[in-house]
């Protein structure tokens, strides 16, 4: 008997319309846990580097996490993995909501798609009955509209549905997969779904998920729930409001946007408006949100209310969470009313809320600079807001200039030429980033931006405070109940960290300390991504209820195999290295491990080199960022080393640690 | 007439404005009633269901009540504050006309037992897991008349009513009594 997981995957060949239920190997669960871990194993085994993102051989994997569907609070994430059309690397975007637990209750851990359907279809999973159904009547329909139509035609209001909108069908490189309440947006995975001719996956399940040692597991769950209550009543002191609590940033609940609007960049990640926020704007935006927001809502089995239903007058209701609240507003230099309205459109079309607004702002900047002209945009309205709507409509249909822009700023700039490349300034590994431009290099963030293979800063940061506290007394107060640290040395790092003077950035935390801090933060995210846990209760906020000390207990009481901190750390290193190996095999190297050139004004090239050299060595990678034969062997990944040697990525005998 | 007797009335107060739609109540209910306790969970086995239609802002937790063997003669449909709820939305019965509150495998009816167990819980588990306070628990004592034991004829008629519905039995009785 399998615990926590079901032990079965669905393999769907869209070319032939064949569906199989396949038993999985429990040894893979022990080695790679589940979710992202087993997805990475599958992509390594089955998608060689020659496979293009839009090839039938590319896999599109929808996975639950190992603990999804168990009573563990907040464990509800769907991890979607494939090869991204935008970065050409592995994408593993995720979404909360209700889909992954429902898949578990239907009796499956993953759904793996290969091939391409000749006609647009959707997959209907109803426990043991699984079928591909015609979706030609859903072509061009919005993501939410599609979900409602499918529920109606199946007469199954409880079906959970992941779908794409027009952007996915048009293979827009930043198309998302939407699930009403939540979306997997980054990396353009919606485009791969569209390319495969798959409009949606509907799932309904009424089976049991078992846990191995029920009493023990429930005790752990109760501890977590009461700690969540404690944390909700006791916000962290000494950090900016948005970082005090649990959950994803409570954007739907707060009205005070002084911090975001004055510290994040507007337009095409260009302009900082230091004195933007005033009483008049505060009152106007508050009225907008109060008028449009119907209710704060949650994902499956989670008390945090990170999302909201938004009903813009005259438009259909949709659901939103987190920072999409402001990305359109700020890219268009507009107000919240515009932002919440266009986001309704964008959600139905199914586009990523970080990339889409920046791509549009980028296009308008090119127009202003004369690199694009009115001739490239026939019919473009005169007003800024109208222009954003116009561009969005073109992009999701790949019409005219929209066809170029649909590939994102990096590829569009290359195609447009004539100096456009300088305007695609906010990407890492060809992927648009948060609109942030700062003054002095932060060594911790330098490493995270450079090496984070989720290619999104919020998906790697979290456990260590972003900035030092002003006084020693405040720091002492902070570390007092900081039991989440894997080792007490992290408390010392923080205690000694000063805003100014000898022990301040960029030279403190020291290079070695930065490696420890980045590694810890990354590890927690990777654990979440394998278990299906929401980062909002774990890796993202300070002092979370899930941490390195209770996770091994959850896994062992839940899934029933022996687990401790060391074994969990190693398993995480194993599939984290596998993600890197997939990307290395696809050509990623040290040259790609860098933040946007202008992310910080004040840079320290020597220090940055030392940071990267040391971190690579710390991770067991050589000087070009390639995992060494020795470190691969230690993780039980000899098959990766063999492949690297066969492909001459590593030379046999010439793979020692960097500077070793 | 029977004697007056004290009875403990257990109430779960449902505040639909506070519900966040997370369905933790369904999850923990099914886990608590699993055998062995907490060994599995499956919201489809829960004795509470959250009617949830996010786009209409409908979130209503409903508890499983007594099983109804017969269908009602008609259905009801509520519209409250402009929101139209599904047919028989607030009814607690598991009944032949719909598939709520039935064990997914056997189809046997489910009923909320307020988590009665030994030792007694302070509150039903759904209430304990609802940290947004959409579900709160109240207890009070009421004086009720002690029920008289039923005689055989009443028991027999009772099962006929269960099976065919009261209206049908009354119609039949009326028809049969006319014949004489």
Q: Is residue B161 domain-shared with residue B137, that is, in the same domain?
A: no
Which residue of A67, A228, A301, A315 is the best one to mutate when testing the B interface, meaning the one whose CB has the most B CBs within 10 A?
A: A301
A478-498 tens-digit pLDDT? 999 999 999 999 999 999 999
Taking only the tens place, the pLDDT of each residue in A71-111 is 999 999 999 999 999 999 999 999 999 999 999 999 999 99
Work out the number of other CB atoms within 10 angstroms of the CB of residue B41.
Answer: 27
Q: Which has the closest alpha carbon to A399: A172, A215, A583? A: A172
- Report A:128-157 residues touching B (Cβ under 8 A): 144, 148, 157
Integer Cα distance of B121 and B12 in angstroms: 14
DSSP letter (8 states) at residue A53:
T
Give the ipTM.
0.95
pLDDT digits (tens, 9 = 90+) for A608-627: 999 999 999 999 999 999 99
Walk me through the domains of chain A, giving residue ranges and CATH numbers: 8-204 (3.60.9.10), 241-354 (1.10.569.10), 438-646 (1.10.599.10)
Give the integer Cα–Cα distance in Å for A419 and B84.
56
Instruction: Write down the pLDDT at residue A660.
Output: 39
Cα-Cα-Cα-Cα dihedral sign, residues B66, B69, B70, B75: positive
Distance CA A297, CA B53 (A): 12
Rounded distance, CA A231 to CA A540, Å? 14
Q: How far is B175 from chain A (nearest CA, A)?
A: 41
CA distance A273 to B131: 39
The whole-number average pLDDT for the span A456-461 is: 90
Residue B42's nearest CA partner among B52, B32, B27 is B27
Q: Does B44 share its domain with B124?
A: yes
What's residue B148's pLDDT?
77
Cβ(A249)–Cβ(A466) below 8 Å:
no
For residues A441 and A446, what is the distance between their CA atoms, to the nearest angstrom?
7
Mutate which of B21, B56, B58, B128 to test chain A, going by most A C-beta atoms within 10 A? B21
| pLDDT > 70? residue B180 | no
Residue A453, token pair as written in the block = 């293979």
Mean pLDDT value across residues A550-572 = 98
Same domain for B19 and B87: yes
Helices (H), A239-314: 258-263, 279-292
Residues B92-146: tens digit of each pLDDT: 999 999 889 999 999 999 999 999 998 889 999 999 999 999 999 999 999 888 7
Q: Looking at the partner chain, which of B42, B53, B132 has a beta carbon nearest the beta carbon of A206?
A: B42
In this complex, do B131 and A215 lie within 8 Å of one another by their Cβ atoms? no
Maximum Cα–Cα distance for chain B, whole Å?
Answer: 63
C-alpha distances (whole Å) from A310 to each of A252, A287, A339 are 9, 13, 12
Closest Cα of chain B to A300: distance in Å?
5
Q: Note whether B44 and B127 are same-domain residues.
A: yes
The pLDDT value recorded for residue A98 is 98
Could you tell me whether strands A198-204 and A121-126 are parallel, antiparallel, or unpaired per DSSP bridges? parallel
- Say how far apart CA A544 and CA A546 lie, in whole Å: 6
Structure tokens at A36: 């992202």
Give Cα separations from A22 to A112, A149, A487, A515 (angstroms): 10, 30, 41, 40
B97 lies in the same domain as B39: yes
Do B29 and B45 lie in one domain? The reply is yes
pLDDT at B15 over 70: yes
A541 DSSP 8-state letter: S
The verdict on residue B116 lying in a domain is: yes
pLDDT tens readout for residues A390-412 = 999 999 999 999 999 999 999 99
Encode A596-634: b = buried (16+ Cβ within 10 Å), e = exposed.
beebbeeebeebbeebbebbbbbbbbbeebbbbbebbee
Residue B4 in this model has a pLDDT that exceeds 60: yes
User: Using CA atoms, how far apart are residues A504 and A442, in angstroms rounded to an integer?
Assistant: 10
Q: Which of A71, A295, A299 sits opposite B57 (nearest CB)?
A: A295
B110 is a domain residue: yes
Contacts of B38 in chain A (CB under 8 A): 71, 211, 214-215, 217-218
Co-location of B158 and B112 in the same domain: no
Q: Residue B15: inside a domain, yes or no? A: yes
Which range among A594-603, B144-153, B165-174 shows the weakest confidence by mean pLDDT? B144-153
Could you tell me if A316 lies within 8 Å of chain B, comparing CB atoms? Answer: yes
Which chain B residues are closer than 8 Å to A294 by Cβ?
A: 57
Whether B128 is covered by a domain: the verdict is: yes
Looking at the structure, tell me whether residues B89 and B156 fall in a common domain.
Answer: no
CA B1 to CA A475: how far, in whole Å? 73
pLDDT per residue over A93-103, tens digit each? Answer: 999 999 999 99
Of B22, B56, B131, the CB nearest to A300: B22
Structural domain that includes position B171: 150-180
Q: For residue B2, tell me if it sits in a domain.
A: no
Domain identity same for B72 and B156:
no
Q: What is the DSSP letter of A168?
A: H
Based on the fold, state whether residues B105 and B59 are members of the same structural domain. Answer: yes
- Picking from A230, A300, A557 by the largest number of B CB atoms within 10 A of its own CB, the best residue to mutate is A300
- B51 SS3 class: strand
- 8 Å CB contact of B132 and A303: yes
Specify which residues A431 forms β-bridges with. A428
Residue bearing tokens 């004489």: B180
Tell me the average pLDDT across A209-217: 98
- Asked if residue B4 belongs to a domain, the reply is no
How many domains does chain B divide into? 2
Residues of B in contact with A319 (CB under 8 A): 54-55
Contact A208 B28 (CB under 8 A): no
Task: For residue B3, tell me if it sits in a domain.
Answer: no
Q: Which of A71, A105, A107, A292 to mutate to test the interface with B (most CBs of B within 10 A)?
A: A71
User: Is residue B159 domain-resident?
Assistant: yes
Query: Residue A161: how many CB atoms within 10 A of its CB?
Result: 28
Element (H, E) at B62: strand B58-63
**Joined tokens for residue A249:** 């940033």
Q: Are residues B44 and B118 in the same domain?
A: yes
CA atoms within 13 A on the CB side of A657: 12
Q: Which letter does DSSP use for residue A187 in this model?
A: G
Query: Do B50 and B127 sit in the same domain of this protein?
Result: yes
What integer best gives the mean pLDDT of chain A? Answer: 96
pTM of the model: 0.95
Judge whether residue A659 has pLDDT over 50. no
CA distance A270 to B150: 82
């Amino acid at each position: 008997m399998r615990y926590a997981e079901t032990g079965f995957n669905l393999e769907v060949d869209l070319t032939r319309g064949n569906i199989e239920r396949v038993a999985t190997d429990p040894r893979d669960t022990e080695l790679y846990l589940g979710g992202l871990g087993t997805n990475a194993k599958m992509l390594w085994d089955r998608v060689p580097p020659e496979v293009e993102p839009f090839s039938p051989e590319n896999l599109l994997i929808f996975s639950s996490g190992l603990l999804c569907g168990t009573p563990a609070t907040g464990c509800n994430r769907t991890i979607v993995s494939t090869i991204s059309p935008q970065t050409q690397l592995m994408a593993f975007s995720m979404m909360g909501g209700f889909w992954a637990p429902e898949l578990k209750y239907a009796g499956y851990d993953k759904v793996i798609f290969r091939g391409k359907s000749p006609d647009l279809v959707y997959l209907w999973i109803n426990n043991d009955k699984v079928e591909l159904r015609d979706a030609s009547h859903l072509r061009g329909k919005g993501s939410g509209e599609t979900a409602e139509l499918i529920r109606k035609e199946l007469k199954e209001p409880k079906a959970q549905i992941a779908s794409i909108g027009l952007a996915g069908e048009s293979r827009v490189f930043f198309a998302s997969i939407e699930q009403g309440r939540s979306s997997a947006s980054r990396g353009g995975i919606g485009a791969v779904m569209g390319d495969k001719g798959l409009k949606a996956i509907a799932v309904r399940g009424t089976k049991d998920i078992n846990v191995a040692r029920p009493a023990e597991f429930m005790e752990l769950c109760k501890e977590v729930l009461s700690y969540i209550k404690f944390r909700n009543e006791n916000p962290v002191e000494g950090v900016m409001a948005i970082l005090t609590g649990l959950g994803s940033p409570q954007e739907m609940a707060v009205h005070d946007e002084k911090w975001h609007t004055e510290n994040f960049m507007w337009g095409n990640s260009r302009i900082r408006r230091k004195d933007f926020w005033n009483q008049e704007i505060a009152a106007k935006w508050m009225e907008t949100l109060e008028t449009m927001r119907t209710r704060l809502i949650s994902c499956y089995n989670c008390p945090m209310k990170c999302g909201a239903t938004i009903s813009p007058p005259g438009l259909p209701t949709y659901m939103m969470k987190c920072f999409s609240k402001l990305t359109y507003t700020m890219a268009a230099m507009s107000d919240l009313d515009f932002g919440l309205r266009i986001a309704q459109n964008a959600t139905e079309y199914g586009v990523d809320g970080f990339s889409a607004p920046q791509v549009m702002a980028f296009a308008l900047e090119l127009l202003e600079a004369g690199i694009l002209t009115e001739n490239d945009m026939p019919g473009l309205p005169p007003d800024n807001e109208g222009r954003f709507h116009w561009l969005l409509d073109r992009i999701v249909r790949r019409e005219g200039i929209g066809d170029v822009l649909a590939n994102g700023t990096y590829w569009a700039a290359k195609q447009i030429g004539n100096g456009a490349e300088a305007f695609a300034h906010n990407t890492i590994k060809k992927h648009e980033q948060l609109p942030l431009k700062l003054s002095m290099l932060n060594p911790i963030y330098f490493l995270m931006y450079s090496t984070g293979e989720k290619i999104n800063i919020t998906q790697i940061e979290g456990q260590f405070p972003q900035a030092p506290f002003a006084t020693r007394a405040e720091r002492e107060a902070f570390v007092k109940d900081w039991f989440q640290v894997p080792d007490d040395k992290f408390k010392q790092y923080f205690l000694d960290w000063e805003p100014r003077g000898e022990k301040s950035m960029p030279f403190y935390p020291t290079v070695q300390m930065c490696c420890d801090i980045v590694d810890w933060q990354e590890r927690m995210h990777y654990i979440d991504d394998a278990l299906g846990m929401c980062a909002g209760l774990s890796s993202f906020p300070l002092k979370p209820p899930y941490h390195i000390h209770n996770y091994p207990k959850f896994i062992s009481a839940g899934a029933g195999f022996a687990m401790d901190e060391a074994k969990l750390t190693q398993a995480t290193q194993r599939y984290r290295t596998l993600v890197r190996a997939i990307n290395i095999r696809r050509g990623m190297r040290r040259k790609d491990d860098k933040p946007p050139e202008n992310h910080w004004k004040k840079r320290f090239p020597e220090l940055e080199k030392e940071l990267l050299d040391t971190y690579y060595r710390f991770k067991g990678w050589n000087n070009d960022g390639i995992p060494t034969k020795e470190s691969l062997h230690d993780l039980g990944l000899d098959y990766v080393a063999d492949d690297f040697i066969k492909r001459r990525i590593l030379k046999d005998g010439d793979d020692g640690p960097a500077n070793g | 007439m029977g004697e007056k007797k004290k009875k403990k009335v257990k109430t779960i107060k449902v505040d639909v404005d506070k519900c966040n739609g997370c369905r933790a109540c369904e999850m923990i209910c099914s886990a608590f009633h699993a055998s062995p306790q907490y060994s599995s969970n499956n919201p489809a086995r829960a004795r509470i269901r959250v009617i949830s239609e996010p786009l209409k802002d409908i979130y209503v937790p409903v508890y499983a009540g007594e099983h109804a063997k017969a269908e009602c003669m008609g259905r009801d449909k509520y519209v409250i504050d402009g929101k139209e709820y599904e047919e028989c939305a607030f009814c607690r019965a598991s009944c032949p006309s719909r598939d709520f509150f039935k064990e997914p495998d056997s189809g046997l009816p489910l009923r909320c037992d307020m988590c009665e167990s030994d030792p007694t819980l302070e509150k039903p588990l759904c209430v304990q897991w609802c940290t947004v306070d959409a579900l709160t628990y109240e207890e009070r004592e009421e004086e009720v008349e002690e029920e008289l034991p039923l005689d055989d004829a009443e028991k027999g008629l009772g099962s006929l009513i269960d099976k065919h519905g009261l209206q049908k039995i009354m119609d039949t009785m009326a028809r049969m009594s006319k014949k004489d």
